[in-house]
Structure 1
Amino acid sequence: MDTADQARTRPGFLRGAGRVALTLLVIGAGAGAGVAGYGVLAARASQAEGPPPAPRTVVAPEVLRLTDSVTLTRRFTGQFEAAQEAALGFEEGGTIAEVLVREGDAVAMGDVVARLDTRLLEAERTRLEASRAALDAQAELARRTNARQEQLRAQGHVAQQRLDETSLQLAQLEASLAEVDAALVAVEVRLSKTEIRAPFAGRIGARLLDAGAVAGPGAAVVTLLEDAPARFRVALDPALAGRLVPRAAVEIETAGGRLPARLAELAPELDAATRARVAFFDLAPGTEAPPARASGDVILPEIRAERGAWVPLAALRQGPRGAWTLLTLAEDETIALEAAEILHLDGERAYVRGSFADGALYLPGGTHRVVPGEPVTLAEVR
């Protein structure tokens, strides 16, 4: 390149180098300003005070007391039954003429409760009485004829054959009279069975049929409950029933409250369907019994040799795989997690056993406010 060309290219090169130098200078100035601003902000941040630490959660733990046995309250549902109860019906069927009682009526032993229509039986009795009167007249004639034949035979005027005929005819008529008398007795028995009489004193429970209805043989017309203190019938666990002593005192819980009662007797065998043992309890003297078929629960205590402790249900938390846990306090006043197994439930509390020790402090409630490992402040220990 000649000298003229070099002279022409030197000014362009200088102009490009100047622009690059100016750009680098601007970038450097910007970086310096950013570093300086960051330093100022960092200095201010170091001088500012941070938020105060969160206060510790205040808890009121309770002392966990382990026992070697537990007394459980067992409840068995049963019902009150009348001392005697009978469904009264007619031995023979027929049309009911009248029912003399209503539900709740008191009846004495032997009172008439209901009657059947007896017109057919009365007509049969009338027929038999007329037949007997005719046979009685024939028998009287046969007796007189036989007496005359005996006189004539003694005088030798008739043969023995004639006397035998009159004697046997009289015997036949007397046998027919006996047959009619037996038929009349049968009609009287059937007439007596057209009335239902109370077999014992009591109260009418239900009236099942009314006058005009056709009652089949044995069909219940009314039910009668003996007017005597009701008994409580209940099926018990055989093992628990076997530990009851005669006249053992219990309580029966009903809708009207708890009633004192005593064991009357135990069934000698187990129920075939439930494999339970039936027990009968009598209410204490002077206690008004609920109506028959009223239900109730007999309350029986049972002692089991199981080591554990009673805790509120609110103290238990759901653990992994269906297990239960209990929150306790460690020596450094932090929350610890203990395994728990529920043995028995009783209302709002549970009898549990687990990895906790006797005398440990546990949280009876509010377990959702803390987590394992969290330090806490104790308010009071109950």
Structure 2
Amino acid sequence: MKSIASLLALCLLAACSGGDKSSSARKGPPPVAVTTTQLALQPLAETVRAWAEVEATASPDVAAEVSGRVSRVLVDAGQTVQAGQALAEIEPGNLNDARLAAEAEAARYQALLAEQQATVSRNQALVKQGFISAAALDASLAQRDALQKQLSAAKAQASSKGRDAARAVIRAPLAGVIEARAVSAGDYVNPGKVVFSLNASGSRRVRLALGGAAGDRLARGMAVTLTSGGHSVKTMVSEVRAGLDPASRARIAWADLPADAPWRVGDALDADIQLASRDALALPAQAVVARPGGQVVYLVDGGKAAERKVVTGMNSDGKLEIVSGLNAGATVAVDGAGFLADGAAVRDAAATGKPAGKGAGA
């Protein structure tokens, strides 16, 4: 009996021992499923987002040139006008009175000059006859010359008052579209008061503002993508201001807007400016993993992952430039790279049909 019990105990021990070996054989993390790509030259573009606003290419402000009360406004915003077309009228009463007074003063001097000229003619005859002295003739000549100068000044004054009276009608200096109206009937205006904003050519452009180091790199010819309201338009920088904007300290540039662009003057847009473009070695951004020691990628070879530290450069639309640390053609883990460590076992997620980043036992 005792020997049978011992035999059973030995069998049980052997069975337990065999189970431990099997369990031990299954120990260790399962391979991580990854997708891979090869490091290769790719076209990259460095872009930045800038503030943008639509403005008229040529937009003179139409201002009042004389003082007075506005009697009529003849056009409104959005209306197309021709060069010389009347836009508004100022009450002309005082201006006409000033013109008439100046013209009357010029006529008075004209009459005085004619009278003095007759006096000079008589004095010239009397001097020849010896009835008056040469000094008397000289005095009449000097008075005639003074009247001629006064007549010229009076005519200039009358001409000026005539132009002022004509300016009671505010006219468009150029053909275009009225972008804004800043006056109503009954308003009193002084010279220099802006009453209309005119888009003279009908064309539009985009004003761009970009600060910091990126603003210093702005240059003519850079590609610009404009977006707003579901619309997208491609153009390029046509002009860059040399200095910085005093208020925002940003660099100001302009880009032409195509005639069929859907936006109006004053609309704010999103602008992506391409500061640089080149062909460079690049990987998908998810292939580059941030570790305490810096940025790394994982080379995949023979079912194992090998960690490599890299230096990155331009970030372009989800792709990172690899400046150093890898050679072209290297096979690198992409999806699932964040789950890897140096020496980790890996498998091809595409071959197994399981999501990247999952172990074989998942």
After TM superposition, the score normalised by the length of structure 2 is 0.67
- Aligned counterparts of 1:310 and 1:104: Cα–Cα separation in 2: 51
1:118 touches 1:194 (CA, 8 Å); kept in 2?
Answer: yes
Tell me if 1:362 matches 2:332.
Answer: yes
Residues 309, 48 of structure 1: CA spacing in aligned structure 2 closer, same or farther, 3 A cutoff?
A: same
Say which of 294, 299, 305 aligns to 1:328: 299
What amino acid is the match of 1:108? Answer: Q
Identify which range, 54-63 or 82-91, moves more after superposition: 54-63
Local SS of the residue matching 1:187: helix
Residue 104 of structure 1, CA deviation: 1.3
User: Larger deviation: 352-361 or 168-177?
Assistant: 168-177
Q: Greater CA radius of gyration, 1 or 2? A: 1
* Offset, 1:319: 0.7
- Does residue 187 of structure 2 align to residue 213 of structure 1? yes
**Match of 1:222?**
196
2:310 to 317, 340, 352: 340
Tell me which residue corresponds to 2:161. Answer: 187
Q: What is the distance in 2 between the residues matched to 1:251 and 1:137?
A: 70
2:47 corresponds in structure 1 to: 74
Q: Is the 8 A contact 1:131 1:180 kept in 2?
A: yes
Contact 1:259–1:287, Cα closer than 8 Å, also in 2: no
**Superposed displacement of residue 223, structure 1:** 0.9
What is the alpha-carbon distance in structure 1 between the residues aligned to residue 149 and residue 338 of structure 2?
A: 102
Answer yes or no: is the 8 Å Cα contact 1:335–1:371 preserved in 2.
Answer: yes
Residues 1:41 and 1:216: Cα distance change in structure 2 (over 3 Å): farther
Please say if residues 61 and 361 of structure 1, whose CA atoms lie closer than 8 Å, have aligned partners that are also in contact.
Answer: no
Question: 1:71: how far off?
Answer: 3.0
Residue 44 of structure 2 contacts residue 316 of structure 2 at CA under 8 Å; is this kept in 1?
no
Shift of 1:220: 1.4
Aligned partners of 1:259 and 1:328: how far apart in 2?
41
C-alpha deviations, 1:153-191, integer Å up to 9, x for none?
A: 8xx9xx659x97xx7899588877665544332221221
Contact 2:62 2:194 in 1 (8 A): yes
Note closer, same or farther for the CA distance 1:132–1:329 as it changes in structure 2 (3 Å cut). Answer: closer
Query: C-alpha root-mean-square deviation of aligned residues, in Å?
Result: 4.8
> Residues 113-262 of structure 1: matches in 2 within 5 Å?
113-128=87-102, 180-232=154-206, 241=219, 252-255=225-228, 256-259=230-233, 261=235
Go from structure 1 to structure 2 and tell me whether the alpha carbon gap of 1:238 and 1:41 turns closer, same or farther (over 3 Å shift): same
Instruction: Give 3-state SS (helix, strand or coil) of 1:121's partner.
Output: helix
2:264 maps to 291
Shift of residue 138, structure 1, vs aligned partner? 7.7
Overall identity of the aligned pairs, in %: 18
CA contact (8 A) 2:56 2:204 kept: yes
> Can you list the C-alpha shifts for 1:267-320, whole angstroms capped at 9, x where unaligned?
6x733567969565463xx644632344453654844475x322233x333211
Q: 1:177 to 1:226 in 2, by over 3 A?
A: closer
Shift of 1:372: 3.6
Asked if 2 retains the 8 angstrom alpha-carbon contact of 1:230 and 1:289, the reply is no
The corresponding residue for 1:12 is: none
Tell me by how many angstroms 1:103 deviates.
1.6
Distance 1:365 1:169 in 2: 104
Amino acid at match of 1:71: L
Question: For structure 1, which runs of at least 5 residues remain unmatched after alignment?
Answer: 1-35
Instruction: Label 1:309 to 1:317 Cα distance change in 2 as closer, same or farther (>3 A).
Output: same
Distance in 1 (alpha carbons) for counterparts of 2:110 and 2:340:
110
* One-letter amino acid of the structure 2 residue matched with residue 95 of structure 1: R
Q: Deviations over 1:1-25 (max 9, x none)?
A: xxxxxxxxxxxxxxxxxxxxxxxxx
Report the residue type matching 1:324 in the other structure.
Q
Runs of 5+ consecutive residues of structure 2 not aligned to the other structure: 1-5, 352-362
Given that 1:327 and 1:362 are in contact with CA atoms closer than 8 Å, whether structure 2 keeps it comes out as yes
- CA separation in 1, counterparts of 2:276 and 2:119? 90
Deviation of 1:84 (Å): 1.0
Q: Return the alpha-carbon distance in structure 2 between the equivalents of residues 358 and 133 of structure 1.
A: 94
Distance 1:303 1:261 in 2: 16
Does 1:270 pair with 2:242? Answer: yes
Change in CA separation of 1:178 and 1:350 when aligned onto 2, cut-off 3 Å: closer
The correspondence for 1:311, drawn from 254, 272, 284, is 284
- Kept in 1: contact 2:70–2:184 (CA 8 A): yes
Number of residue pairs the alignment of both structures matches: 326
TM-superposed CA distance for 1:261, in Å, is: 4.4
- 2:359 match: none
Aligned twin of 1:349: 319
**Per chain length, whose mean CA-contact separation is higher, i.e. which structure has more relative contact order (CA < 8 Å, sep 6+)?**
2
Given that 1:79 and 1:293 are in contact with CA atoms closer than 8 Å, whether structure 2 keeps it comes out as yes
